[in-house]
Amino acid sequence: MDLSRFTFRLNRFIFGLVFGHSVKYIIFSSFFFSSNQQEGLGVTSYKADPWCARFYCHMLYIIFFPQMVRLPAGTFTMGTDKPGIPQDGEGPPRRVQLDAFHMDIYEVSNLDFERFVTDTGHVTEAETFGDSFVFDGFISEEIKRAIDKAVAAAPWWLPVKGADWRHPEGPDASISDRMDHPVLHVSWNDASAYCAWAGKRLPTEAEWEYACRGGLEKRLFPWGNKLQPKGEHFANLWQGTFPSNNTAEDGYVQTSPVDAFPTNGYGLYNMVGNAWEWTSDWWDTRHSIDDAYNPKGPASGTDRVKKGGSYMCHKSYCYRYRCAARSQNTPDSSASNLGFRCAADAAGTP
């Protein structure tokens, strides 16, 4: 083995050993934040050192911290014959064959999304509309007083003026201590734009569910059938009485870092819980039972499929933190529990 290759491997080994997973955000936050604070808003720009920020740091990041994992081609059972929420179209189970593809290991974080916005000037739909949906338990009394409408079927959702990805609970909130948490208040259109910028795309629902299952067949969760093996928490969900009492037994009242909790069999984090994740499919609750090959969902629709549930899900009202579970929103919707991750084709692989 030549010396440069050996040094590279050694570096990588030591980085992994010493820093584990979380610290990459600290390292790269410090690259981005050190010299570039704009008026204390925590807004970064590449202008101070474009070469380092845009190329060198980025290459280091990619080399030391792979962001995607290649999932092997395979056939799996999509959906379930024991639907937890039958009206969501969780059944019938059907055999689905997929080519190999790449999947983001983590949900897209605030730090990731900030790089995208800095680079492209993208304005999210929540920012354009001027409001987004926020869970009322996290809204300050001051902001609550200004709100006059709510969602009749789900009164805990309130449209908050000025809520967006940088201000998840409204204008008086900030993400500066949550840069490694999933980005929220991003619509399907925003998510698609991000993935395209990154040279990726949103996963299909079939790819997402295959990734969620982590190589296990017909299990409820990414890690098996038991929600808390040996009493351990494997996902960021709601503990306590929803919506009044969040005991945060899993360690988090709201979102958690994108690398919190154990990975599934494919090395993916937070496939269920934390934030809902957009997929590329249109929503329909009726499915053909025929075997399918790389299915991409209905040709048209009004809503897009989201998967995985969120930190707000509790079995009593949102038993949707299962791989087969699904829900939907219009492509311009955004909320304080909805994010995404990207996928990519695995070129030249069967």
Least distance from ligand NAG to the Cβ atom of residue 233, Å: 16
CB of 158 to ligand NAG, least distance (A): 20
Name which of 243 and 295 has its Cβ closer to ligand NAG.
243
Please answer whether residues 253 and 246 qualify as being in contact, where contact means their C-beta atoms are separated by less than 8 angstroms: yes
Asked if 298 is part of the footprint of ligand NAG (rule: CB under 6 A), the reply reads no
| Residue written as token pair 């083995």 | 1
Query: Where in 151-190 is the site for ligand NAG (CB under 6 A)?
Result: none
Task: Give the span between the Cα atoms of 116 and 128, in whole angstroms.
Answer: 17
Decide whether 232 or 249 has the Cβ nearer to ligand NAG.
249
The residue ranges of DSSP E strands in the chain, in sequence order, are 68-71, 74-78, 94-98, 101-104, 131-135, 157-161, 276-282, 292-293, 304-307, 327-329, 338-339, 343-345
Distance CA 60, CA 28 (A): 10
Query: Could you tell me the smallest distance in angstroms from the CB atom of residue 9 to ligand NAG?
Result: 49
Among the listed residues 304, 259, 254, 257, the one whose alpha carbon sits nearest the alpha carbon of residue 135: 254
Closest residue (Cβ) to ligand NAG?
A: 245
In three-state secondary structure terms, 195 is helix
| Edge-to-edge strand list for the sheet holding 276-282 | 327-329, 304-307, 276-282, 338-339
**CA–CA separation, 209 and 41 (whole Å):** 38
What residues contact residue 191 under an 8 Å CB cut-off, 6+ apart? 108, 202, 278, 339, 340
Q: Which residues contact 156 (CB under 8 A, 6 or more apart)?
A: 135, 136, 137, 243
By CB under 6 A, how many residues form the interface with ligand NAG?
Answer: 3
Q: Binding to ligand NAG (CB under 6 A): which residues in 240-259?
A: 240, 245, 247
Amino acid at 161: K
Compare residues 29 and 239 and give the one whose CB is closer to ligand NAG.
Answer: 239
Closest alpha carbon to 334 in 49, 43, 123, 114: 123
Q: What's the min distance (Å) between Cβ of 313 and ligand NAG? A: 17
Which residues from 29-88 bind ligand NAG, rule CB under 6 A? none
Nearer to ligand NAG, 204 or 254 (CB): 254
Smaller CB distance to ligand NAG: residue 213 or 314?
A: 314
Q: How far is the CB of 181 from ligand NAG (least distance, A)?
A: 24
Smallest distance from the beta carbon of 249 to ligand NAG, in angstroms?
Answer: 9
Taking CB under 6 A as the binding criterion, the range among 43-51, 189-197, 239-247, 340-348 that sits at the site for ligand NAG is 239-247
Shortest separation between residue 242's beta carbon and ligand NAG, angstroms: 11
> Which of residues 65 and 238 has its CB atom nearest to ligand NAG in the complex?
238
Q: Least distance from C-beta 247 to ligand NAG, angstroms?
A: 5
Q: State which amino acid sits at residue 124.
A: T
Residue number, 35 or 245, with CB nearest to ligand NAG: 245
Q: How far is CA 64 from the centre of its chain?
A: 21
Nearest residue (CB) to ligand NAG, 78 versus 237: 237
State the residues that interact with ligand NAG by CB under 6 A.
240, 245, 247
